[in-house]
Structure 1
């Protein structure tokens, strides 16, 4: 009987996660809804700071399991534009305070080996992504596994970030390369 109750609770908890993520993603993408959406995502299990704006929908890779959602943290006053993708099963994505993320930005924490091995395939590695405070990421950028984007850096639209980005640096291109230093205010 205890096994049945435990399984029922797990199913109800999973349903709750899916319900709150679905409600957040179904809301209109204007005005007060963009401020209400983070509260629903918090209820699903994502750690979200104060005064965060998420335009939505927010795409969380494949699995809405508890570990995946708890692996996502978004700092105070962050702004996530439409169609942000957070792929972090078996890893973590941390987004700092005062971060601005353009539309269709993708965070990918998983990668495959290049060499195909019999009975193994290409394997799968997971590495955390960290975005420090005051970073701006332009539309359509892709952030790959193991990357840290340091404080106040800027990632140009469409860039593919494969390596760490130093603080106060503008990067762009495929793969992303340093374009210039940013003068501190």
Structure 2
């Protein structure tokens, strides 16, 4: 039974990743990943392929949570072994963005090596992550923050903040939209 479940998971991921990368297939891809066991919300667009941690074990797949109205551009990587990646609602992720939940120590110890540490990544609602950014273990990107293209995010990003660079640093605060009472259409 366990082997059949694993085969089904791999089959749905493989089919999802081989679908053409245009039009209705981008919504169908999310459906395939949902059938593989991922928690994926409504109206999610995934411009595949979606690069997942290689084992595709149940723990890895169930560790990924994607909210409603999310857009994942081509070649998004979700490396989620022994941890979690949660992406909120209304999030936009550019192409080649990498979410990495594992890291190693910098000291090599005989018979142990560098060891591996796994830490969750959380992305709040209304976040935009630019092309080629890398999000490292333990990071939380709070609501309506923006990560500039090519950035390496090593620490938490406050809400309504633009960060960029390697390592990513605050560039500026993002103004919140003013409420429009009685606006004329």
Aligned to 1:174: 166
Partner of residue 3, structure 1: none
Cα displacement string for residues 81-101 of structure 1 (whole angstroms, at most 9, x for unaligned residues)? 000000010000000000000
Per-residue deviation at 1:162? Answer: 0.1
Structure 2 distance, partners of 1:36, 1:178, is 37
The offset of 1:157, in angstroms, is 0.2
TM-score by length of 2: 0.95
Question: What SS class does the counterpart of residue 178 from structure 1 fall into?
Answer: strand
Structure 1 stretches lacking a partner, 5+ long: 1-8
Select the structure that is richer in helix: 1
Task: Determine helix, strand or coil for the equivalent of 1:14.
Answer: helix
TM-score normalised by length of structure 1: 0.95
Residue 4 of structure 1 corresponds to which residue in structure 2? none
Matched, 1:145 2:141: no
Please name the residue that 2:40 is paired with: 48
1: CA distance, partners of 2:55 / 2:37: 13
**Distance apart, 1:128 and its partner CA:** 0.0
Task: Note the residue ranges of structure 2 that are not aligned, 5 or more in a row.
Answer: 178-185
Moved over 3 A (4+): none
Are 1:83 and 2:78 matched, yes or no? no
Counterpart of 2:127 (choices 127, 135, 138) is 135
Aligned residues: 177
* Alignment pair present for 1:23 and 2:15: yes
Deviation at 1:62? 1.4
